[in-house]
Structure 1
Amino acid sequence: MSVLERITVNPRQCGGRPCIRGMRIRVSDILDLLGAGAGPDDILRDYPDLEREDISAALLWAARYVDHPRLSA
């Protein structure tokens, strides 16, 4: 499984926002926790269904998202 395959989007779940492996844990939840100073071990302790690779996938997804070119007319 590619790391980014851990990120799923389902229009019927979480308003279509990217989630981790079909769970109701959004990529933005992981990023918010990291941004607030939580470390990967803290997140894994609070969310036992997550795996370390899920956190890596969320970070990689975010990096790719913000690096997406935008065209202006």
Structure 2
Amino acid sequence: MTLLDRITVNPLQCGGRPCIRGMRIRVSDVLDLLGAGVEVDEILSDYPDLEREDIHAALLWASRYVNHPRLSA
């Protein structure tokens, strides 16, 4: 399993937004917490189903997402 395999998208879950390993924890939730300055250990404590690699996967997904070229007509 690669880090990005931890990110799942299901149109029937969380409005099709990317989630962590099929759970209802959205990538954006993790990123918002990190952006607010919440430490990784605190996030892991608050979300016991999360693993440290899930947070790394969320960051990698975000990096790839914002670096994706978009073409406009």
TM-score range, shorter chain: over 0.9
AA of the residue aligned to 2:47: Y
- Cα drift, residue 72 of structure 1: 2.7
C-alpha distance in structure 2 between counterparts of 1:13 and 1:21, whole Å: 12
Q: Could you list the runs of 5+ residues in structure 1 that have no partner in the other structure?
A: none
Aligned residues: 73
In angstroms, what is the RMSD of aligned CA positions? 0.6
Q: Deviations over 1:4-38 (max 9, x none)?
A: 00000000000000000000000000000000000
Report SS of the residue matched to 2:28: helix
The structure 1 segments of at least 4 consecutive aligned residues displaced by more than 6 Å after TM superposition are none
Cross-structure match for 2:63: 63
Query: What is the identity percentage for the equivalent residue pairs of Structure 1 and Structure 2?
Result: 82
State TM-score, norm by structure 2. Answer: 0.97
Q: Which position in structure 1 is the counterpart of 2:31?
A: 31
User: What's the CA shift for 1:50?
Assistant: 0.2
Whether 2:41 is the aligned partner of 1:41: answer: yes
Describe the SS at the equivalent of 2:53.
Answer: helix
